[in-house]
């Protein structure tokens, strides 16, 4: 399944906004674009528009590949011309005419639609990633050129709808007949981005192109940003005890909205039926990460405390959270196995040692120690209060808590 950026590129390939491209690029074109800003056949093109699939995906050259959106709807079919060892899949794409949805879907006009609307008039296209600051200049330039104005809000990701709203607002103060067409162009490096905007504007029939100002992105102060505090560690290390203590302390302060995704509750509801195999643990952690990132997306603070023994899966969660503009703090509760086993609160270690519980973390299943923890906490010989305090200090010192 393509990721968000690949899907956005796919939409532009299908709509003709990336003309002359008709599909995702193969290795020869990618090398040539990176080397000299041209496709292999010499056509100028600034950006390697590629699709990467997991290594174990079975598709190969000569086959057809159906591309789906995150809901599983088939969006396009690709005639695969190349499949490289590092996962690149190249070939022309054809639309399957999937129904369009998403905010402002009705404004996602294709170049053909826009050209038909603007007929033969000269067109001043303005690409924008944030609010326009000089509408008078745009009006004056359009008059000079006797051109129609075409606003192309480049809407991608969380901030996408805001850019479209800015375009609709600007249209109110621009000459009548100003057209707005939403283009899902994911941002690139500044120079490449600018060149790519030129190509897209030309595809939409622009005789002249103005690149709107870069948006001023203020991520908001840390105490208002979403936050996920993710505890990891062996069974009995003290994750739930510290996490509960943190939850209580935050409720007492009352300055942030908090959700505690209790491990037992998660296993009973969200992950009911899952085992402790590697696959099921990964699934469990991804589900926790997904819910936590949804909480954080709206500025909430989510606390989770699963064992989460695998580094790659913890990393996936970090990315999931950061992708919604929130912060992720990893707290490694690094109480040594011997101490966890000595505590053996639920008698599970004794059972695991006796071979009664298979795949038990630390005994018969691995725990990968984090090397990216924001705080490492060994609870041996310290009070619960002291442990909670250490986590609170981390939040306060990072400005995440007032
Ligand atoms: N095989 C095996 N390995 C580890 N743990 C086991 C196992 N079987 C049951 N339990 C109990 O399940 C709790 C860990 O569940 P998690 O959801 O946190 O695990 S994981 O993150 O999906 O690996 C863990 O609870 P905590 O002691 O609270 O960590 C155990 O009590
Ligand atoms: N400083 C401490 N922090 C957390 N737990 C502690 C501490 N000192 C002793 N303990 C005890 O260790 C056990 C930790 O269990 P628990 O919090 O359920 O661990 P986990 O969720 O990691 O499996 C509890 O019985 C708790 O009372």
pLDDT tens digits, 184-231:
999 999 999 999 999 999 999 999 999 998 776 666 789 989 999 999
Pairwise CA distance, residues 89 & 24, whole Å:
7
Q: Which residue has the higher pLDDT, 151 or 102?
A: 151
Identify the pLDDT of residue 99: 63
Give the 3-state DSSP-derived string for the chain, with helices as H, strands as E and coil as C.
CCCHHHHHHHHHHHHCCCCCCCEECCHHHHHHHHHHCECCCCCECCCCCCCECCCCCCCCCCCEEEEECCCCCEEEEEECCEECCCCEEEEEEEECCCCCCCCCHHHCCCHHHHHHHHCCCCEEEEEECCCCCCHHHHHHHHHHHCCEEEEEEECCCCCHHHHHHHHHHHHHCCCCCCEECCECCCCCCHHHHHHHHHHHHHHCCCCEEEECCCCCCCCCCCCCCCEEEEEECCCCCCHHHHHHHHHHHHHHHCCCCEEEECHHHHHHCCCCCCCCCHHHHHHHHHHHHHHHHHHHHCCCEEEECCCCCCHHHHHHHHHHHHHCCCEEEEEEECCCHHHHHHHCCCCHHHHHHCCCCCCCECCCECCCCCCCCCEEECCCCCCHHHHHHHHHHHHHHCCCCC
Q: CATH number of the domain at 4-95, please?
A: 3.10.400.10
* Total residues belonging to the chain: 402
Q: Is 361 in the pocket of ligand 2 (CB under 6 A)?
A: no
Beta bridge partners of 92: 23
Q: Confirm whether residue 238 is marked as ligand binding.
A: yes
User: 238: CA distance to ligand 2 center in Å?
Assistant: 3
Q: Is 235 in the pocket of ligand 2 (CB under 6 A)?
A: yes
Ligand whose nearest atom lies closest to the CA of 230? 1
Q: Is 400 in the pocket of ligand 2 (CB under 6 A)?
A: no
Whether 396 shows a pLDDT value over 90: the answer reads yes
User: 307: CA distance to ligand 1 center in Å?
Assistant: 6
* Mean pLDDT to the nearest integer, 301-314: 98
Q: Tally Cβ neighbours within 10 Å of residue 42.
A: 9
Asked if the ipTM is above 0.90, the reply is yes
User: Ligand 1 atom closest to Cα of 234?
Assistant: 29
User: Ligand 2 atom closest to Cα of 242?
Assistant: 4
Identify the pLDDT of residue 216: 63
List residues near ligand 1 (CB under 6 A).
Answer: 235-236, 240, 263, 267, 276, 281, 284-285, 306-309, 346, 348, 357, 359-361, 365
Instruction: Outline which parts of the chain fall under CATH 3.40.50.300.
Output: 222-397
Q: Is 382 in the pocket of ligand 2 (CB under 6 A)?
A: yes
Q: Confirm whether residue 132 is marked as ligand binding.
A: no
Classified by CATH at the fold level, domain 105-211 comes out as: Rossmann fold (3.40.50)
**Sorting pLDDT into bands at 50, 70 and 90, what band is 56?**
confident
Instruction: Outline which parts of the chain fall under CATH 3.10.400.10.
Output: 4-95
Q: Tell whether pTM > 0.80.
A: no
> Ligand 1: which of 306, 317, 348, 368 to mutate, most ligand atoms within 8 Å of CB?
348
* The architecture CATH gives domain 222-397: 3-Layer(aba) Sandwich (3.40)
User: Ligand 2 atom closest to Cα of 382?
Assistant: 1
């Amino acid at each position: 399944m393509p990721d968000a950026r690949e899907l956005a590129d796919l939409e532009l390939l299908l709509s003709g906004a990336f003309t002359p491209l008709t599909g995702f690029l193969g290795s020869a074109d990618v090398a040539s674009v990176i080397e000299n800003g041209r496709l292999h056949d010499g056509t100028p093109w600034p950006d390697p528009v590629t699709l990467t699939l997991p290594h174990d995906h079975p598709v190969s050259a000569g086959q057809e590949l159906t591309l789906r959106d995150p809901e599983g709807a088939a969006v396009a079919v690709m005639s695969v011309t190349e499949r490289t060892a590092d996962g690149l899949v190249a070939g022309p794409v054809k639309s399957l005419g999937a129904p369009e949805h998403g905010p402002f879907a009705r404004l996602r006009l294709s170049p053909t639609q826009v050209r038909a609307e603007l007929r033969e008039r000269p067109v001043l296209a303005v690409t924008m990633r944030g609010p326009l600051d000089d509408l008078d200049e745009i009006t004056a330039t359009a008059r000079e050129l006797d051109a129609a104005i075409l606003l192309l809000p480049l809407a991608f990701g969380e901030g996408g709808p805001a850019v479209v709203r800015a375009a609709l607002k600007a249209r109110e103060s621009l000459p009548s007949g100003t057209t707005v067409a939403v283009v899902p162009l994911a941002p690139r490096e500044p120079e490449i981005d600018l060149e790519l905007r030129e190509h897209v504007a030309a595809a939409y029939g622009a005789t002249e192109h103005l690149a709107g100002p870069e948006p001023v992105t203020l991520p908001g102060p840390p105490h208002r940003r979403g936050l996920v505090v993710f505890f990891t560690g062996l069974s009995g290390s003290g994750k739930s005890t510290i996490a509960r203590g943190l939850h209580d302390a935050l409720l007492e302060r009352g300055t942030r909205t908090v959700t505690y995704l209790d491990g037992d509750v998660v296993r009973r509801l969200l992950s009911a039926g899952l085992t402790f195999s590697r696959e099921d643990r990964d699934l469990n952690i991804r589900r926790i990460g997904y819910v936590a990132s949804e909480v954080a997306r709206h500025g909430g603070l989510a606390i989770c405390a699963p064992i989460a023994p695998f580094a790659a899966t913890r990393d996936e969660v970090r990315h999931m959270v950061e992708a919604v503009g929130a912060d992720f703090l990893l707290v490694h509760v690094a109480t040594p196995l011997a101490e966890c086993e000595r505590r053996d609160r639920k008698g599970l270690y004794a059972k695991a040692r006796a071979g009664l519980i298979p795949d038990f973390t630390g005994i018969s299943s691995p725990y990968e120690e984090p090397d990216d923890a924001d705080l490492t906490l060994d609870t041996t010989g310290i009070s619960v209060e002291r442990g909670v305090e250490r986590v609170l200090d981390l939040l306060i010192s990072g400005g995440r808590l007032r």
